[in-house]
Amino acid sequence: MAPLVYALTALLGAAAVVIGLSGMLGAPWTVHVAWLVPLGGLSLQMDALAGLFVALVGAATIPTSLYAIGYTAGERRGCVAYGVFVAAMLVVPLAGNVMTFALAWELMSLASYVLVLDGARAGRESGASAHAAWVYALMTHAGLACLLAGMLLLTAWTGSARFADWALAAPALDAGARSLAWVLLALGFAAKAGGVPLHVWLPLAHPAAPSHVSALMSGVMIKLGVYGLLRASFVWLAPALPWWGALLLLIGALSAVIGVLYAIVDRDLKRLLAFSSIENVGIVLVGVGGAVTFAATTLPDLALLALAAALAHVVNHAAFKSLLFMAAGGVQHGAGTRDMEALGGLVKRQPWTAACFLVGAVAIAGLPPLNGFVSEWLTFQALLQNVRLPQPALNLVFALAIAGLALAAGLAVACFVKAFGITFLALPRSAAAAAAHEVPVTMRAAMTATALACAALALGAPWLVPALVRVGATLVPAAPPVTLDTWLTLDVSADFARLSMPAVALALAAGVLLPLALLVVVRARPRARRYETWSCGRLLQTARMEYTAIAFADPFTRVFDFFYRPARRLDVDRHPESRFFVRRIRYENPTRFIVDEWLYRPLNRLLRATTRRAAIVQSGSPNLYLAYVLAALLALLLLV
Amino acid sequence: MHVALLAVLQVLVVALGAPLLIGTVRTVKARLVGRRGPAPWQPYRDLRKLLGKTPVVSETTSWIFRITPYVLAGAMLVAAVAAPVLTSRPPLAFAGIILLMSLFLLGTFFLALAGLDAGSAFGGMGSSREVAVAALAEPTVILAVFTLALHANTTNLGGIVEHVAAEPLLTLNPAHLLAFAAFFIVMLAETGRLPVDNPATHLELTMIHEAMVLEYSARHLALVEWAGAMKLLVFLTLLANLFFPWGVAADVSAPAIALGLLALGGKLAILTAALALLETAIAKLRLFRVPELLAGSFALGVLAVSAVFLLR
Amino acid sequence: MLGQLRIALRAGIVTEPPARETDIEQLGTRLAAEIRARFGRSLAIRQVDAGSCNGCELEIGGLTGPHYDIERFGLHFVASPRHADCLLVTGPVTRNMAAALRHTWEATPDPKLVIAAGDCAGDGGIFRGSYAVVGGVCEVVPVDALIPGCPPSPAALLAGLLDALGRPR
């Protein structure tokens, strides 16, 4: 029964792609069913942006559902929740009023909560799974509370719960009111997207969930937070204010750097990918922040460029992150663990999974000729034009964002060298890795399809980017800043920059083949002789000689130790008879999470202290409770 | 037609000239310490000899190890077409410094993987250090070239060259000079020269780049060494032609290109001598002082960008 | 820093021409012409200490200095045997180092040379007959040439290397 549900979900995804694309390219439509949902009725509204996100969710669902068929291997648990999850995610972009949105949003969160709990329990980490699901539920509902607060405020001020009416009434509200609503909505959406400091649930929930769910959560669910931010900043509360954009820029740059810094020192493959999602959300938020700032300072063509860059990264990240999570799930399936310290040598045991992970790694590191490069390049081009902004304070924010983005890009390369190199290359570090098996054909097909999609998105940039510009133009009307020129070149901002991905890909292919061809022609290719690795003549070369994941991250741990603040502990257990004989040494140097320590732990303490004080009210004595009732009655009679 | 011919010419210049550059650096370094030193064309002999040897490939490695030298060399050859070597409008210059840096990172990515592939401690150590240095150098490069792009109002490297060539006084602009200093330091880090990394060291624990290459032999080693030489040449070309673009051909006529080649040769000679002098005069930094050096160059880059905004 | 440069520049080039005489023993006629053709202009040397007293190493160390400067002939030392064409082995090959020397030789790509430097490398030298010593490099790996001496001076080493490559001085 489970494969049937997954297949149906894949078909739903395909239908969603068709509907979404037609919405993107065609005319907008609305559907209103008054009785289906209380307090306002079901209201669906399709326009270009909604169409893009519906198509994105659908396109990500197809390979993931196919993958799930092989990954769950007939296990019934979780398949219905999965279907509900996908359906809810498809309704969120289409929602046209508050109730529909809130219902779909909550259904999406609930379904994913169930899936996180299930997945972690299946992975036999029940203590950690409860904690992960708990933090996830907490953060999601805190975000929902902010969202509802903002939306209800807007409903009260504009007098209508329909989003279309907000777009018309927003300019009439004063800037302070709009800012308040924006802050509440941004908090809620940023919590879903995983922007620092609201990211704490991501590295717990995404690894705990089963891999197909993680792929969807990282690939498309967090993008719905970005969707919400776009709607709030450009449609519901337009015109935007410059400091909204600056705030988003700073959060984006911070998320990008912090996310990748935590990813580099992690030894759990899926948690590394989760932190990397935070990094990529940071990149998207930098694009969105830039767009909002430019729009607020009447530079609509630059705003459109930044928006197109953010949307391009949303699409690209969905593609390569789902590929990476699927491959990581393949590793877990084949080797039984996702701890990189116990993996290695999988490129020989799982060649297909390794090749797919490599494609994903090259893409996410932003290297040509794959799709990550295109969206990072576009984001840079949008940011680099900030000189047209007259305010030096904003220029400074942009410069910081550029530096942060460049640092994150470099660190991402390092992170994925580690992820691929330690997991797949050299010798296996444990018996489980040495006995790993390749994944079933459905999983392989799904991963290959996604890898091909990454390549297609890269080579198809000459058509994809202008299409995204057209989608963005519905939010920020302006002349298109990106046009398609000769030789399939994208011309950005009238010759500020140009890029032809097909030309770059062709040049790289030619460059790689040229030395090979030359060597073949001059017949300088004697057959290689196989021997052992050079180890300075040492007689025993085992997996213990290899670099470990933690060792690989050591330079970063040292350079950024002001950020990681490792809590070093060294316990030396000596023999009772003589202090010169050491029985055991225990060395720990875990990184501490700055946001947890500086923000959440004090908040937690404050909350506990406050509730302890407030608990005095519940004394347990019925006489006191009767007195409360009397006092409340008197107060009501007096005041009302 | 012109575009293809230009691309071929630039590839030839970079591919054939890179070993000569490395050899010249070695010769000048030797003369500065009182040795006769090798001939400047010694690297050509070394490469030719390497091509004739039979590679020894470790059993621990995979196909990643075998394809990396080709990917590395290929990325450098594309970089040769993307940098303003002879003219100000080479075929791929449009994508700017980000494409160039991404090409270098592509090479570093695969080389680091190859270092890990062998399963030795040296390879892992080299990979780990190399990606750390590359990651920390990345923001400075972007900021340094951003300074130039701000003045020229384009990130197209050719556009930057033409703009700076049209305004000669720009080379004395403080933002320009700060960006040059920042870029110079990053060049030392990225190409593995002193004081960041000693290219001639034999002590594995002091190696950054060399440690990843310890496992390569014969034609693979020849490709990796050649790619390293091309990287140095492209970096020095960027330093010469982005910051001091006199002599860079404005059109694709034969005399202009010949002049461009001569001018490039002259500028590279000066830079090579400066590099050799610097390498002879200073000692290698302790490994965990290198991030401090890179942070210093980042500060210079930030100063350069601020100078542009303040002196607007 | 500048002071050092000034001293170096004032001293000038101090490299000496190589010696005329050589005591090198050519063992075997292994493809002499081919070796000359391949390695005459470029040789990468990996020095292997197979249990030597370090006297030979000190002399070999002088080869890279300004006075003897082997780099001018296209010879240079490398760190990894994968990069090497020639193994320059010193020491009587102690039993502990025998397997390591063999591994190093196996790790070197073909075609390769082995040049034994010093009396110990020839037949064990003053350690010949000891229980801890295998007795000469030729017992472990095939040797192409032997430069005798205890230790051989850098001039003798240089002249011997050039002779092994058939390079005119």
- pLDDT tens for A397-454 read 898 899 999 999 999 999 999 999 999 998 999 999 999 999 999 999 999 999 999 9
Give the whole-angstrom CA distance, residue A216 versus residue A200.
18
Radius of gyration in angstroms for the set of CA atoms belonging to chain B, rounded to a whole number: 19
The 8-class DSSP code of residue A162 comes to: B
The pLDDT assigned to A123 comes to 60
Residues of chain A in contact with residue C104, where contact means CB-CB under 8 angstroms, are 537
Task: Evaluate whether residue A560 is within a structural domain.
Answer: no
Q: Is the CB of residue A608 less than 8 Å away from at least one CB of chain C? A: no
- Helix (H/G/I), strand (E/B), else coil: A265: coil
Q: Do the Cβ atoms of B53 and C109 come within 8 Å?
A: yes
Average pLDDT over residues C82-106: 93
- To the nearest 10°, report the CA torsion of A136, A564, A284, A228: 30
B164-220 pLDDT, tens digit each:
888 888 888 889 999 999 999 999 999 999 999 998 888 888 889 999 999 999 999
The pLDDT assigned to A125 comes to 55
- Chain B nearest-CA distance from C37, in A, is 10
The pLDDT assigned to B182 comes to 95
The pLDDT assigned to A544 comes to 86
The pLDDT assigned to C28 comes to 54
CA A270 to chain centre: 12
Number of domains chain B is built from: 1
Give the whole-angstrom CA distance, residue A614 versus residue B154.
61
Q: Do the Cβ atoms of C81 and A529 come within 8 Å?
A: no
Q: Which residues contact B118 (CB under 8 A, 6 or more apart)?
A: A426, A533, A534, B58, B60, B61, B65, B214, B215
Looking up tokens 């302790």, which residue turns up?
A: B286
Average pLDDT over residues C72-97: 93
Alpha helices (H) along A92-125:
98-122
Q: Do the Cβ atoms of A531 and C107 come within 8 Å?
A: yes
Q: Does A568 or B126 have the greater pLDDT score?
A: B126
Structural domain ending residue among the three candidates A481, A498, A519: A481
Q: Measure Cα distances from A194 to A144, A191, A270 in Å.
A: 14, 5, 16
Name subunits touching C (3+ CB pairs < 8 A).
A, B
Between A531, A536, A539, which is nearest C106 by CB?
A531
pLDDT tier at A72 (50, 70, 90 boundaries)?
A: confident
The answer to whether the CB of A100 falls within 8 A of the CB of A36 is no
Number of domains chain A is built from: 2
B79-111 pLDDT, tens digit each:
999 888 888 777 777 778 899 999 999 999 999
Structural domain ending residue among the three candidates A481, A497, A527: A481
pLDDT tier at A91 (50, 70, 90 boundaries)?
A: very high
The pLDDT assigned to B27 comes to 95
Q: Is the CB of residue B285 less than 8 Å away from at least one CB of chain A? A: no
Which of B28, B31, B36 is the best mutation test for C, with the most CBs of C within 10 A? B36
Residues of chain A in contact with residue C99, where contact means CB-CB under 8 angstroms, are 537, 539
pLDDT tier at C99 (50, 70, 90 boundaries)?
A: very high
The pLDDT assigned to C168 comes to 64
The answer to whether the CB of A203 falls within 8 A of the CB of A128 is no
Between C8, C79, C82, which is nearest B56 by CB?
C82
A236-282 pLDDT, tens digit each:
887 889 999 999 999 999 999 999 999 999 999 999 999 999 999 99
Q: Do the Cβ atoms of B36 and C72 come within 8 Å?
A: yes
Give the whole-angstrom CA distance, residue A309 versus residue A465.
8
Q: Are strands C43-49 and C75-77 parallel, antiparallel or unpaired?
A: parallel
- Chain B nearest-CA distance from A127, in A, is 34
Average pLDDT over residues A453-458: 95
The pLDDT assigned to A540 comes to 73
B34-88 pLDDT, tens digit each:
888 899 999 999 999 999 899 999 999 999 999 999 999 999 999 999 888 888 7
pLDDT tier at A121 (50, 70, 90 boundaries)?
A: low
Over 70: is that where the pLDDT of A627 sits? yes
Give the whole-angstrom CA distance, residue A245 versus residue B208.
41
Residues A323 and A454 in one domain: yes
- Chain C nearest-CA distance from B152, in A, is 38
Task: Evaluate whether residue A377 is within a structural domain.
Answer: yes
Q: What backbone torsions phi and psi does residue A585 show, to the nearest 5 degrees?
A: -125, 130
pLDDT tier at A639 (50, 70, 90 boundaries)?
A: confident
Calculate the average pLDDT of chain A: 90
Q: What is the phi-psi region of residue A41: left when phi exceeds 0, alpha when psi lies from -120 to 50, beta otherwise?
A: left
**What is the token pair recorded at A371?**
């799709």
Over 60: is that where the pLDDT of A357 sits? yes
pLDDT tier at B18 (50, 70, 90 boundaries)?
A: very high
CA A368 to chain centre: 21
- Helix (H/G/I), strand (E/B), else coil: A532: coil
Task: Evaluate whether residue A171 is within a structural domain.
Answer: no
Beta-bridge mates of residue C43: C75
Kindly provide the ipTM of the predicted complex, given to two decimals: 0.95
Beta-bridge mates of residue C44: C76
CATH 3.40.50.12280 corresponds to the domain C24-164 = yes
The answer to whether the CB of B85 falls within 8 A of the CB of B9 is no
Q: How many CA atoms lie within 13 A of C167 on its CB side?
A: 21
Which range (A592-596, B218-222, C88-92, C134-138) has the least confidence?
A592-596
Nearest to A487 by CA among B94, B139, B32, B89: B94
Domain that holds residue B65: 2-310
Q: Count Cβ atoms below 10 Å from residue A628 Cβ, excluding itself.
A: 11
Average pLDDT over residues B284-303: 91
Strand order across the beta sheet in which C25-26 lies: C25-26, C145-147, C113-117, C86-90, C43-49, C75-77
Give the whole-angstrom CA distance, residue A499 versus residue A491.
7
Over 60: is that where the pLDDT of B289 sits? yes
Domain that holds residue A628: 603-639
- Chain A nearest-CA distance from B34, in A, is 33
Q: Do the Cβ atoms of C100 and A538 come within 8 Å?
A: yes
Q: Which residues contact B227 (CB under 8 A, 6 or more apart)?
A: B69, B72, B73, B75, B76, B107
Looking up tokens 């506990």, which residue turns up?
A: A608
**Percent of residues, chain B, with pLDDT higher than 90:** 61
**What is the token pair recorded at B255?**
């005399």
Between B96, B113, B150, which is nearest A425 by CB?
B113
The pLDDT assigned to A396 comes to 85
